[in-house]
Structure 1
Amino acid sequence: MQLNSLRQLTLVSFVVVLVPLAALVGYSQLTLSTIAKVTSSETEQSIDIVRKLSKMESLAFDIERLVRQFSIVKKQALVDLINESTQRFTTHQNYICQSIAEQQSCTNLTSRINWIRQVTPQVDSLLLDAQLAEFSQNLRDLTNQVNVYLDLRIQDQQNYVGSVQQNQFWFTGLLLSASILLIVFGSKAILKPIEKIEQVIGAIARQDSVLPVISNSGPKEIIVLEHQLHNLASRLTQLENLRTALLRHASHELKTPLASIKEGCSLLTEQVVGSLNEDQQEVLSLLNSSTDRLNQLIIQLLDYNLLLQQGNPKCQLIESKTLFDEFVTENSLALKQHDHKLNMKVEVQSIYADPQLYRRILDNLMSNAIAHGTKGRPITIHLYQQDNMYVLDFANRGQKIPQQQRHTLFQPFYRGEGKRNDRVIGTGLGLSIVADCARMMMGSAKIVDVDYADICIRVIIPIKEANI
């Protein structure tokens, strides 16, 4: 049966799971009813037997008394009473003897009753005493046999109840197991379309070029949601392509006139086209600084665009000393210009990371520290291992960052409120590139408080892949 909606699938799953439980409840009720009937029947029969046995004992006492009176008084009225009592005694005896298996006592009692019915006034007293003694003994034997019979019936009843309990236990276990299996199958049936949605969302998050195929069967709500996710993925791809193309074309298109402006400024600075007065030279210096600033902004845009286009990181084992030596060498001029001393403490010989991404992290952190750090104060770099993470602390002195701004600083195009040392208006991409590079390597970046600096940016990447 094909279910067309998730609601129908859920309801049917619940109903199917409840079927074994309903069968268990029905079987339990039937079993309890059977036990109740058996117990009631056995109790009634046992009570009847005990009552009749008690009446037989009472009648036996009356019969013995009447027989002895008859042997003395010899009245006919006593014979009628004896016959009536023996008749009632025989009726109770027959009921009891039909229930018990041992019939010897019943036969003996029948013989004694028959003798008593035929007793005559001339009977010998010794014979009468002997017959009445035998009659009493036979009744006691019957009482013992009835007690044994009732004990056996009680034992049989206990065995029956135990057997029913055992059957109930196994039947309950079987039905509960069936219910658990049905719950598992029902859960899988319900979660299977949800897992398909998770696969589609995961593919969109990973920016896979091909998404899972839309299901041909299943709940209609899930199929509609799959179509919507595919449309969303297509729209996101279009927007991503548009953004990438815009950044790429805008950056390259800006570079061409910027190169012409820089070339013109260079010619004017060298006074190739004529000498310049002091005011003209001042204006020209402003033009040169503006073109340098614009060129730096374009480089950052191109770097951010290149980061967006990069696929999965290509991690490898990097020698820490080589990496940081090259980094310090390439940034030594900028450090000297701003009178920064570099304090480095590298406690890890090698790290497992993408070389280009990790170098981008270092370059952008250095650029941020130089732009916002206090001139003449040291910049501290500390690389160490903590648990299963490689930790990079990049710290400097400067204006402290308020707690409420720390998270937003890692968002693209967000600029902090602090002034830059180079008076350049930044793009707000530096720390965003740091966070994105760390995220691509399954790590993270955040601002932390340390006692040796005003600002410390901590970059964490996992080392679990280092042994591959």
Structure 2
Amino acid sequence: MGYAILSDRISFSEKLVQLGSLRQLTLGSFLVALIPLIALLWQSQSDLARVGQMTSIETRYVVNVVGLMQTLDGAVIDLERSIRQYAVLQSDAVAQLSDNALTQFTAAKSSLCKVLQRPAPCARLDKQLQQLSTYREVNDQLLLNAYLASMNNSVSALRGDVDDAIQERLNLQQADLSAMQAKQAWSTAMLVSISLLLILLGSQLIVNPVKKLKQIIRILAQQQGQLPPISTQAPRELIGVEQDLHWLSDRLQQLEHIRTALLRHAAHELKTPLASIKEGCSLLSDNVVGELNTQQQEVLSLLTSSTQRLSTLIEKLLDYNLLLQQAQPKFTRADPNQLVQDCLEDYALALQEREVRVSIQTDTVWVDEELYRRILDNLVSNAVAHGAVGRPIDVQIYCADDTVILDVANRGKRIPADKVATLFEPFIRGDDPRNDNVIGTGLGLSIVSDCARLMHGDVAVVEVDYADVCFRVTIPQQEQEQ
């Protein structure tokens, strides 16, 4: 029971972390990346509403305080005028006006002091109002003027307090706005950074499987190494592509095994009857079974020639099979003079009527000796087979821009431009007859191309002014030395 619950929990966790389709992943990443931006927008709207509310409150306060101050200024002027009129006229009507003015001033003062909340000037005004309330009993004009002047000074001081209060509220509002701006800037930076981080995380969930697909394709192209296991946490479409690539790899391996096995078995099985035929020809040519007449010797000669041709074909086939199985070249410093000399010695009989002009301008080359020797053998063999009889063959090895260049040129019929594109494909033979009357396999130039490719180089047909046909092989040197 406990094991079943644990298994259900594990499978549920795997479902939680398993990614959906590529579309779901893209939309999900987009929505998740929008969450910090939505939070930033909500905070901006909240701050904007707070600023509007703060501005409204402060504006009402300023308008209210200024209005009350103006009312107090008007009340103090009316109070002073009415009291001075009473001091001159001493009538009950003027006294009634003075009392009303005093009441209005007291009310204006109380309203302003309630809003302003400055107890000191308001206390002074209360004391001065008590003095002025006895204006009927004051007969000394100088004393009355002193009371009025003191009240005007207090009102002026209160006016300054109003200005200070307004300035304090403005400073406080400015400080709040500055703090809000700083908070907004910090929140913007943090939320935008989080959003960018989420975008990078979402894109990485797509980029990583794509990188893995590129790695698999590179391994398939280079035929090196084992394929990584199939991903379990990737979009379904990319997992499907990865599974198809694994299937393709298995299929290519099967085809490669079939091809190499076919070449190996075909070459090996052909050599067994070929050896018997060669042995029989040898016995016949040695007159072991009796003396041969002229016609029989002619037939034996044709049979021996055909046997030799078949042997050459089998050797080429084995050579091509071995080349295809070689996956990694072994680079060493080689002497080009020795490589060329060994090659020309092997072709001494074929070259006895030819002049081979050799020009080697470098002491060492950084190559795989076996592969480079095959390039030399096949290019020289091709020049002998297709070059004009009795005309020289040029072999040049030199360096240019950290690259060793091999040129093998011969005189003869030029290669048509439409034939160059397929010249280095396997089992493609030219239409022109060979000088040695041997049926070619169409593998010589393809072996040259494959050997150059294994050494990260290339082969091409180039135009030169001293020959009709020139094959140029370029092998980079700097890359290998690193």
Distance 1:28 1:297 in 2: 83
Displacement of 1:268: 7.9
Displacement of 1:335: 3.3
Distance 1:197 1:405 in 2: 36
Distance 1:464 1:378 in 2: 30
Taking structure 2 as the reference length, the TM-score comes to 0.81
Distance 1:234 1:345 in 2: 46
Alpha-carbon RMSD across the aligned residues, in angstroms, is 3.5
Contact 1:410-1:435 within 8 A present in 2 as well: yes
Distance 1:331 1:92 in 2: 127
1:344 aligned to which of 345, 359, 378? 359
Distance 2:319 2:249 in 1: 25
> Are 1:434 and 2:448 counterparts?
yes
Q: Is the alpha carbon distance of 1:466 and 1:72 closer, same or farther for their aligned partners in structure 2, counting shifts above 3 Å? A: same
How many equivalent pairs are there? Answer: 462
Residues 126-275 of structure 1 mapped to structure 2, 5 A cutoff = 126-207=142-223, 210-216=226-232, 218-258=234-274, 273-275=292-294
Identity %: 43
Residues 325-364 of structure 1 mapped to structure 2, 5 A cutoff = 325-337=341-353, 339-347=354-362, 349-364=363-378
Taking structure 1 as the reference length, the TM-score comes to 0.84
Amino acid corresponding to residue 426 of structure 1 in structure 2: G
Contact 2:394-2:407 within 8 A present in 1 as well: no
1:26 aligned to which of 16, 28, 42? 42
Residues 366-385 of structure 1 mapped to structure 2, 5 A cutoff = 366-375=380-389, 376-385=391-400
Contact 2:405-2:475 within 8 A present in 1 as well: yes
Contact 1:447-1:457 within 8 A present in 2 as well: yes
What is the CA deviation profile of residues 52-109 of structure 1, one whole-angstrom value per residue up to 9, with x for unaligned ones? 3233333333333333333334444444544445544444444443455643323223
1:12 aligned to which of 21, 25, 28? 28
Contact 1:379-1:397 within 8 A present in 2 as well: no
Gaps of 5+ in 1: none
Q: Is the alpha carbon distance of 1:383 and 1:127 closer, same or farther for their aligned partners in structure 2, counting shifts above 3 Å? A: same
Displacement of 1:306: 0.9
Displacement of 1:305: 0.9
Displacement of 1:310: 1.5
Contact 2:427-2:443 within 8 A present in 1 as well: yes
1:276 aligned to which of 295, 298, 313? 295
Contact 2:397-2:407 within 8 A present in 1 as well: yes
2:69 aligned to which of 46, 53, 65? 53
Q: Is the alpha carbon distance of 1:404 and 1:44 closer, same or farther for their aligned partners in structure 2, counting shifts above 3 Å? A: farther
What is the CA deviation profile of residues 163-194 of structure 1, one whole-angstrom value per residue up to 9, with x for unaligned ones? 22222222222223323333333333333333
Displacement of 1:43: 2.6
Distance 1:147 1:374 in 2: 113
Distance 2:424 2:246 in 1: 30
Amino acid corresponding to residue 148 of structure 1 in structure 2: D
Residues 271-350 of structure 1 mapped to structure 2, 5 A cutoff = 273-276=292-295, 281=298, 292-337=308-353, 339-347=354-362, 349-350=363-364
1:409 aligned to which of 423, 445, 449? 423
Q: Is the alpha carbon distance of 1:168 and 1:334 closer, same or farther for their aligned partners in structure 2, counting shifts above 3 Å? A: farther
Contact 2:36-2:194 within 8 A present in 1 as well: yes
Displacement of 1:307: 0.9
Amino acid corresponding to residue 450 of structure 2 in structure 1: D
| More deviation, 202-211/15-24 | 202-211
Distance 2:458 2:177 in 1: 67
Contact 1:267-1:273 within 8 A present in 2 as well: no
Amino acid corresponding to residue 5 of structure 1 in structure 2: G
Distance 2:408 2:135 in 1: 128
> Are 1:457 and 2:471 counterparts?
yes
Distance 2:423 2:185 in 1: 65
Distance 1:447 1:262 in 2: 39
Distance 1:421 1:85 in 2: 138
> Are 1:39 and 2:55 counterparts?
yes
Amino acid corresponding to residue 180 of structure 1 in structure 2: L
Distance 2:355 2:104 in 1: 127
Contact 2:206-2:235 within 8 A present in 1 as well: no
Displacement of 1:421: 4.3
Q: Is the alpha carbon distance of 1:336 and 1:39 closer, same or farther for their aligned partners in structure 2, counting shifts above 3 Å? A: farther
Amino acid corresponding to residue 370 of structure 2 in structure 1: Q
Contact 2:411-2:469 within 8 A present in 1 as well: yes
What is the CA deviation profile of residues 408-461 of structure 1, one whole-angstrom value per residue up to 9, with x for unaligned ones? 323323345666444555333222222222222233333444555444433333
Amino acid corresponding to residue 233 of structure 1 in structure 2: S
Displacement of 1:243: 1.1
Contact 1:66-1:81 within 8 A present in 2 as well: yes
Q: Secondary structure at the match of 1:336?
A: coil
Q: Is the alpha carbon distance of 1:395 and 1:96 closer, same or farther for their aligned partners in structure 2, counting shifts above 3 Å? A: farther
| More deviation, 84-93/364-373 | 84-93
Contact 2:397-2:404 within 8 A present in 1 as well: no
| More deviation, 13-22/72-81 | 72-81
Distance 1:226 1:71 in 2: 109
| More deviation, 165-174/55-64 | 55-64
Q: Secondary structure at the match of 2:427?
A: coil
Amino acid corresponding to residue 446 of structure 2 in structure 1: S
Amino acid corresponding to residue 274 of structure 1 in structure 2: N
Contact 1:320-1:346 within 8 A present in 2 as well: no
Contact 1:351-1:466 within 8 A present in 2 as well: no
Q: Is the alpha carbon distance of 1:466 and 1:211 closer, same or farther for their aligned partners in structure 2, counting shifts above 3 Å? A: closer
Displacement of 1:296: 3.4
| More deviation, 395-404/8-17 | 395-404
